[in-house]
Structure 1
């Protein structure tokens, strides 16, 4: 916590079989694969038992397993606001497969038939930010690539689509904080120490 202002530690879950193959994984509740379990153990080294006023975790198994491996699940609060973007009809497809149907498609520009709009994801992200700002200390969030990228954009008071500027690998640590009164990014996409 800097000058009474909380820092927000973002942890993207470790690898799953779908994240390795680039498949959009929103509501599908996949476990970590062997690589992801090793990465999640590495997250514990990055955080080194750091105390947090609040720990929030997505209800999806891959985030829960990463939070547990890092040593925080026993004090974490599960929130659906941190679940991954609902990709609707594009669930399980890669960007290349979607672009065969919709040339030039990106998750940031849509459309996402049967899924969430970007603004819906941003609304969830803003609720998480409000909780973090009221926590009375530093906060850890264990979640997923796209929701955390949207959250970073919202934290920086950018349009949610600017999450496209924040690529995020599995089992990485990022820190949102402050420079004077301005919210910004202190650390981004630092890999866990175990990329097995």
Structure 2
């Protein structure tokens, strides 16, 4: 291989710079998450179990020095952030859940029974938010998280407390995948995940703790 060929490869394959670690926390259980109903912008509180789950997440996150903590504006996320030890989390409007339109409050099993071929990642939701728009919101958070730096040069930590579908899409975008690839990342209520780097490549470090 000639020097010019090597030079071209290096130029076209510029590495993605490593940077901060992004932690994800899904909110605790609500009545609708327990029943399987699509819960987008409906502002439901946590159940008693959901509050217990959120408190349990505090143990998982203990000892991590966070430089930035963001939360969805919806109460189920803000309450989870508070119970997990972050009462002063900054509200981030981009972190709200998917607007499910006509499917808001509908049991997902009912939707599939009526349309066996339905898959939200491919079919979207009638009169709801387009997947591309959610991806744009996720990209804004990825950009913001990656801009966080520590004065001492150590790796920064950013936490986002939000919702199941949104955090799955955020994960896909962190990895440089299409938003629809969020389908591969199942995330239970009040579970913690860590997104970081394999050297300079965005990677999943831990999932569903």
Give the CA RMSD over aligned residues. 1.3
Q: Give yes or no for contact 1:95–1:105 (8 Å, CA) kept in 2.
A: no
Q: Structure 2: any 5+ residue segments left out of the alignment?
A: 1-16, 150-155
Larger Rg: 2
TM-score by length of 1: 0.92
Q: Give yes or no for contact 1:49–1:71 (8 Å, CA) kept in 2.
A: no
Among candidates 39, 47, 55, match of residue 53 of structure 2? 39
Aligned to 1:123: 136
Aligned to 2:110: 97
Among candidates 18, 22, 30, match of residue 16 of structure 1? 30
Structure 1 residue runs of 4 or more that deviate by more than 6 Å after TM superposition: none
Aligned to 1:162: 181
Aligned to 2:125: 112
Instruction: For 2:193 and 2:202, locate their aligned partners in 1 and report how far apart those are by CA, in whole Å.
Output: 14
Instruction: For 2:202 and 2:64, locate their aligned partners in 1 and report how far apart those are by CA, in whole Å.
Output: 21
- CA positional deviation for 1:154: 0.6
Q: Give yes or no for contact 1:8–1:138 (8 Å, CA) kept in 2.
A: yes
Instruction: For 1:15 and 1:139, locate their aligned partners in 2 and report how far apart those are by CA, in whole Å.
Output: 23
Aligned to 1:172: 191
Instruction: For 1:69 and 1:100, locate their aligned partners in 2 and report how far apart those are by CA, in whole Å.
Output: 37
Aligned to 1:193: none
Aligned to 1:6: 20
Instruction: For 1:26 and 1:180, locate their aligned partners in 2 and report how far apart those are by CA, in whole Å.
Output: 36
Aligned to 1:58: 72
Aligned to 1:133: 146
Q: Give yes or no for contact 2:103–2:126 (8 Å, CA) kept in 1.
A: yes
Aligned to 2:93: 80
C-alpha distance 38-123 of structure 1, shift in aligned 2 (>3 A): same
Q: Give yes or no for contact 2:18–2:197 (8 Å, CA) kept in 1.
A: no
- CA positional deviation for 1:4: 6.7
TM-score by length of 2: 0.86
Across the two proteins, how many residue pairs are aligned to each other?
A: 187
